[in-house]
Amino acid sequence: MLMKEKKTKIVTDNRVHPTDTGSAEVQVALLSERINALTKHMGAFKKDHNSRTGLMKIVSQRKRLLIYLKREDSARYEKLIQKLGLRK
């Protein structure tokens, strides 16, 4: 679970305008943070199948958001990918 301060920092770093809390960029950044945390958890607890299922759902949700962003505005997509370091 993300702490409030960390979540607020992620939102402020990735928002499009000053009152933005739900744009695709913010959602992808928050999901990426959750994915990173669950990946570390899965390294320690390999047999935790419920968490693995949740991780797969989060990954697919992020993938759908990235596909949407790429389709709607490829410049924003490229900027977000660079910022979060998702594609290599």
Q: Does residue 81 belong to any structural domain of this protein?
A: yes
- Residue range of the domain that includes 58: 46-88
Instruction: Read off the CATH number of the domain in which 69 is found.
Output: 1.10.287.10
Read off the pLDDT of residues 27-85 as tens digits, 9 standing for 90 and up. Answer: 999 999 999 999 999 999 999 999 999 999 999 999 999 999 999 999 999 999 999 99
| Count of Cβ atoms closer than 10 Å to residue 62 Cβ | 20
Residue 71 CA to residue 77 CA, distance in Å, equals: 9
Q: Does residue 21 belong to any structural domain of this protein?
A: no
Q: What is the pTM of this model?
A: 0.92
Q: What total of structural domains would you count in the chain?
A: 1
Do 25 and 69 contact (CB within 8 A), yes or no?
A: yes
**What Rg value do the Cα atoms of the chain yield, rounded?**
14
Residue 48 CA to residue 44 CA, distance in Å, equals: 9
For 21, the enclosing helix (H) or strand (E) is none
Q: Does residue 23 belong to any structural domain of this protein?
A: no
Q: Does residue 65 belong to any structural domain of this protein?
A: yes
